[in-house]
Structures are given as C-alpha cells and as structure tokens.
C-alpha cells in the first residue's frame, strides 16, 4: 500500500489530549493529530512509551507534554486538565483510548470481577476523564472521541465481556453527547475493526505457526471477508479520530464511525 498523503491541517493550533498512549493506536492518534497541526498531551501509565511518542510529535514541529497517569485513579487523573492548561492554555479535544482487555470467555462462565475490572478502565475511566475535562472543553467548544470496537457489530464467542464493555462505552458516549451538547461539546465514537499493527501481527504469526502456513495466508483469509480485501492500518483509524475532532465534524455528535474496511456495515 502506498504511504498516505500528508494530513491536511485539520487541527491547526488546537490541543489534543490522548489518554492511553501505547505503541499502536494511541501512538497513531497522537502522531496524526500532530501532522494535522495539533499540540498533544500524552497520558499513559508508562512514561517510556509516552516520551517515545512525544519525540515523534516534536519532530513534526508540534509541542508535546507527557503525563504518567491511570484513568482508574481519581488522584492521578485529576492532575491532567491542569497539566494540559498549564502547558497549552486550552484543550480542544479529548481522546479516550485507555483500554483494558476484558476476559475472553463465555458469559456463562466468566468471572464477574474480571468483567468489573475491565469496566473500570474502559467505561468508568472514560467517564472520569470526560468529566474532568468538561470545563476546558466547554471553554473551547471542543470534542470528545471514544475509541470503541467493531465488537459492537457481532456477538461471536468468546467476545461477550468485550462487547459488554464497548456497548456500555457507546451508550456513555451517546448520553454524554446529549448532556454536554448545550455546552458546545461534541461526543463521538470510532469503532475500529482489525488493526494491522503489533499485537495483531504477533497473533497472526502465532496462527500461522500453528497451522504451518504463512502470515500472508492468514492475512488474506481474514481480509477476504472485507469489502476492501485488506485490514485497516493504525493511521487510518487515527485519521477518523482527527476528522471527528476537527471543525469539519462541527455538526456531528452522538455518532459512531466504523473503520473496518467494510467488514461490517452499519
């Protein structure tokens, strides 16, 4: 696939807070936001990862600030708005990408405490961060983007606990869109399907070794069920986030944008 064209400056001089910065989608959201003209606050549990991504952001000529945090911890999370405002003076977009993988097990047998633990990050963490940033987003008439998943579109075993968490996150986003709309804050979701990046590449490698076939064969078999016959790349999902955070989406709220190369239609 040819490299994408440079992103237009959809976020020129805006400030984006990315909660949940890792080597995959979180990194892509931060970097694509910078390419679109934004300064970025990078919030992660691991300082090393945040600093690596910060280096990429600054290499693009934008400012980056890192913050070690945990979206499940009231005290740690509470310092993020002031960190962003002290560094940049404003916040225009909050991206809730922090994620804890729920147990992959049937709902008849899954441990309920394990489901609760996933909800703490995936749902309550997103609500906590949105509430903390509401005053700053109200001042800028900004937006929130929740990172959901294509698991919303199917009920395959053993993804029941995962679907529970992401369905709750979608309901949260839609209710917040209604509650925060009068303050000028838009709230939307992006639901990626497969993302062709580190963890999925590792998983496909495992499948290929188990079956004695090539990774390319596993990829092609998976992509055969998608309209575009390929899997989305992290930057493509991130570009959807950039769009929803930008003024091009100024009349869009309460919506979920699927990015799955046509695996599901919604």
Rg over CA atoms, the chain: 18
Tokens 């955070």 sit on residue? 245
**The pair of three-digit structure tokens given for residue 142, joined into one six-digit string:** 């900004």
**The pair of three-digit structure tokens given for residue 32, joined into one six-digit string:** 């694509």
Please name the residues in contact with 115: beta carbons below 8 A apart, sequence gap of 6 or more: 102, 103, 161, 164, 165
57 near 31, Cβ under 8 Å? yes
For residue 39, the cross-strand partners are: 15
Specify burial of residue 228 (Cβ count, 10 A radius: 0-12, 13-18, 19+): exposed
Measured in whole angstroms, the distance separating CA 197 from the mean position of its chain's CA atoms is 14
As annotated, the active-site residues are 162
Q: Return d(Cα 232, Cα 147) in angstroms, integer.
A: 15
Is beta strand 15-19 parallel, antiparallel or unpaired with respect to 93-96?
parallel
């Amino acid at each position: 696939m040819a490299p994408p064209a440079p992103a237009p400056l959809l976020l020129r001089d805006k400030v984006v807070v990315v909660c949940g910065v890792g080597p995959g989608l979180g990194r892509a959201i931060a970097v694509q936001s910078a390419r679109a003209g934004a300064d970025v606050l990078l919030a992660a549990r691991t300082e090393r990862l945040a600093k690596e991504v910060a280096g990429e952001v600054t290499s693009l000529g934008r400012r980056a600030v890192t913050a070690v945090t945990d979206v499940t911890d009231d005290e740690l999370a509470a310092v993020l708005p002031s960190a962003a405002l002290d560094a940049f003076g404003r916040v225009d977009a909050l991206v809730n990408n922090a994620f804890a993988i729920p147990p992959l097990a049937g709902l008849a047998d899954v441990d309920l405490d394990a489901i609760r633990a996933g909800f703490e990050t995936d749902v309550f963490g997103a609500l906590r961060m949105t509430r903390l940033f509401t005053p700053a987003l109200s001042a800028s008439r900004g937006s929130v983007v929740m990172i959901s998943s294509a698991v919303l579109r199917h009920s395959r075993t053993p993804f029941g606990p995962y679907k529970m968490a992401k369905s709750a996150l979608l309901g949260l986003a839609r209710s917040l869109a209604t509650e925060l709309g009068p303050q000028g804050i838009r709230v939307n979701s992006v639901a990626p399907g497969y993302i062709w990046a580190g963890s999925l590449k590792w998983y496909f490698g495992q499948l290929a070794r188990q079956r004695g076939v090539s990774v390319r064969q596993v990829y092609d078999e998976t992509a055969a069920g998608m309209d575009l016959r390929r899997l989305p790349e992290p930057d493509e999902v991130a570009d959807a986030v950039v769009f929803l955070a930008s003024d091009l989406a100024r009349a869009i709220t309460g919506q979920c944008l699927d990015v799955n190369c046509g695996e599901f239609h919604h």
